[in-house]
Amino acid sequence: THNLPPGLEYLSQQLDQIIIHQQVELLEAILGTETSSKYEIKNALGQRVYFAEEENGCFDRRLCSPLRAFTISIADNAGREVIRVIRPLRCSSCCFPCFLQQLEVQSPPGTVAGYVVQNWDPFLPKFTIQNESKEDVLKIIGPYATCGCFEDVDFEVKALNEMTTIGKISKYWSGFVNNVFTNTANFGIQVPVDLDVRIKAVMIGACFLIDLMFFENSLDGL
């Protein structure tokens, strides 16, 4: 691919499915202590292609948990950082439509690949995927209820007209024991094979944002 950001070779292949698995933190599971999240990013065969780790302070995790600012560093299997996801501290309320959630995705770190911007809606979770020039590319629309009791929760990836569904971000229900006694999350991202590689990287960032906004403190979430 011409001018492909270093480290994104995997995303440029015939890839239409990405699996994101949050690693179980033993200390967090036993003591209920909020720790920095760590994720494995895998292909459809379960092979790890990237490793992601959240960077923020204990203050942010304890007091601002679902809304906390963070930086997530995503490295390839050689340990080279290839994607950086940056989320500032912002609001999240259907009654307060200003200063809503957004994040920036960089690839390589220091170079903007795109943005995820929350859109105000009184009923549904809605987001816009933007390219590096802040031009709208795709929409993400979630369900009215995101509790996901005993079933997967799908956020549909749509064209800008919001009529055509081209993919989805799914929170997989992993069972009662996992949901109650551990803090593990499993997500799947399905996108068109020929989607721009930078936008695929932005979709990974969108998945992290959805995780923290809707599933961070839910028994049916993590």
Q: Pull the structure tokens for residue 37.
A: 């999240």
Question: What local confidence, expressed as pLDDT, does residue 180 receive?
Answer: 43
Confidence of residue 167 (pLDDT cuts 50, 70, 90): very high
Distances in Å between the Cα of 22 and the Cα atoms of 115, 126, 187, 204 are: 22, 23, 9, 13
CATH for 96: 3.20.90
Quote the domain boundaries for residue 114: 8-218
Q: How many domains does the chain have?
A: 1
156 occurs within a structural domain? yes
Q: Using CA atoms in the order 135, 52, 188, 112, what is the torsion angle rounded to 10 degrees?
A: 10
Average pLDDT of the chain, as a whole number: 81
- Residue 192 in any domain: the answer is yes
Q: How confident is the model at residue 44 (pLDDT cuts 50, 70, 90)?
A: confident
Kindly state whether residue 94 falls inside one of the protein's structural domains. Answer: yes
In a domain, 2, yes or no: no
Query: What mean pLDDT do residues 9-32 have?
Result: 73
Range among 9-23, 42-56, 113-127, 147-161 with highest mean pLDDT value? 113-127
Residue with tokens 């790890």: 48
Is 35 inside a domain boundary?
A: yes
Asked whether residue 127 carries a pLDDT value surpassing 90, the answer given is yes
In a domain, 149, yes or no: yes
pLDDT-based confidence at residue 17 (cuts at 50, 70, 90) = very high
* Per-residue pLDDT, 172: 87
**With contact defined as beta carbons under 8 Å apart, do 205 and 117 qualify?**
no
> pLDDT-derived band of residue 222, with 50, 70 and 90 as boundaries?
very low
Q: How far is CA 200 from the centre of its chain?
A: 11
SS (H, E, C) the chain: CCCCCCCCHHHHCCCCEEEEEECCCHHHHHHCCCCCCEEEEECCCCCEEEEEEEECCHHHHHHCHHHCCEEEEEEECCCCEEEEEEECCCCCCCCCCCCCCEEEEECCCCCEEEEEEEECCCCCCEEEEEECCCCEEEEEECCCCCCCCCCCEEEEEECCCCCCEEEEEEECCCCHHHHHHCCCCEEEEECCCCCCHHHHHHHHHHHHHHHHHHCCCCCCCC
CB distance 154 to 169 below 8 Å? yes
Q: Which residues pair with 95 in a beta bridge?
A: none
**What is the per-residue pLDDT for 64?**
47
Is there a domain that residue 162 lies in?
yes
Number of other CB atoms surrounding residue 111 within 10 Å: 12
Q: Binning pLDDT at 50, 70 and 90, where does residue 215 land?
A: confident
The answer as to whether 1 is a domain residue is: no
